[in-house]
Amino acid sequence: MQSQVHTQAESISSSYPQYGEAYAPGHITGFFTIHISEDPVYTGSKGAGICLEAGVTTRVTIRKSDKPEIVLLWNDMPLADSKVSKSVMQRFFGPNVKLSVLVEQRSILPLNYGYGISGASALSLALAVNKALGSPLPRVKAGEIAHLAEVENLTGLGDVSAQMVGGFEMRLLPGAPTVGRVQRLQTPEDYFIITTPVKRISTNKMISDHFAKINEKGELAMSSFMNSPTLDAFITLSRKFWESLWSLDPEIVKVLKRYESIGIKLVSLKKGLVYGLIHKDEAGSILERISQKSSQKTIPMLIYEPSFGLPIIVTRISSGGAC
């Protein structure tokens, strides 16, 4: 299959650029267990999470060129550390195809806080490149390319498979979208996710430092969740899971308390972010306590409020998966 992709890439006309555009939702894992295999296709995670309407949109422009280059832009700024994206491109084009590729990615979610952005970036890129090449691969195989790029670069385990499905999900079998099993759960449409990125935390370091405890606490959380797979239970178990892994950073604790003080009843965290669940009927009053500017924006929205001290992102749970 990879040789077919390479052949398709080589057939691109030098006079006519090829374009592709795709989207992948963000993803917050509530709790999980780690599953490592000698075959990275089967490496992944089991657990539960929520996909966010705020995600990553990727546009690629591909041209034949005597000077091969890949230019990656993140919100219009050059992206220096792009190992995952380069792994995706390598799997599509191989080492010898003479192409100029411009990759433009946009998101209101920041990198390296726990929003599954490396997965969303890899997945939206794989889908966009596949479209630009005339879709030589089935959607699920493009998803596998993104998953392999994540696993090989130690930036994620289960985000891509979850992001393929979208919504409120439970990962029952680990691995790439071609072999894993993800169940989409009933997702209430009248709730928003409010979230704040607080501190950057490396996924690789987190897993290597807390591997055994993640699996121990993840098994307990998943067992409890299977008995009551609701959004309320998810938020409660998520907080218990993450608080059990390590001593929380004081800044994380401060934001958790701030969320609770403005009336958010269901509050949790993941890695370096805090998030909460708010009903749409409560959203207006809660957001006004943060910023008067919030009433002037549409969702998903990003609020910078000096009195709060950190950005606030408000988004819906995604209604679908990557496309």
Tell me the pTM: 0.94
230-241: b (≥16 Cβ within 10 Å) or e: ebebbbbbbbbb
pLDDT in tens, 110-145: 999 999 999 999 999 999 999 999 999 999 999 999
* Most confidently modeled range among 58-67, 155-164, 278-287: 155-164
pLDDT in tens, 42-76: 999 999 999 999 999 999 999 988 888 889 999 99
Name residue 169's beta-bridge partners.
Answer: 49, 184
Q: Per-domain residue ranges for the chain? A: 2-185, 191-316
**What pLDDT shows up at residue 15?**
47
Domain 191-316's class?
A: alpha beta
* Angle between helix 139-152 and helix 83-93 axes, rounded to 10 deg: 130
Say which CATH topology domain 2-185 has.
Ribosomal Protein S5; domain 2 (3.30.230)
pLDDT at 33 over 60: yes
* 52: nearest Cα among 177, 174, 168: 168
pLDDT in tens, 160-175: 999 999 999 999 999 9
Question: What's the whole-number mean pLDDT along residues 199-207?
Answer: 91
pLDDT at 211 over 70: yes
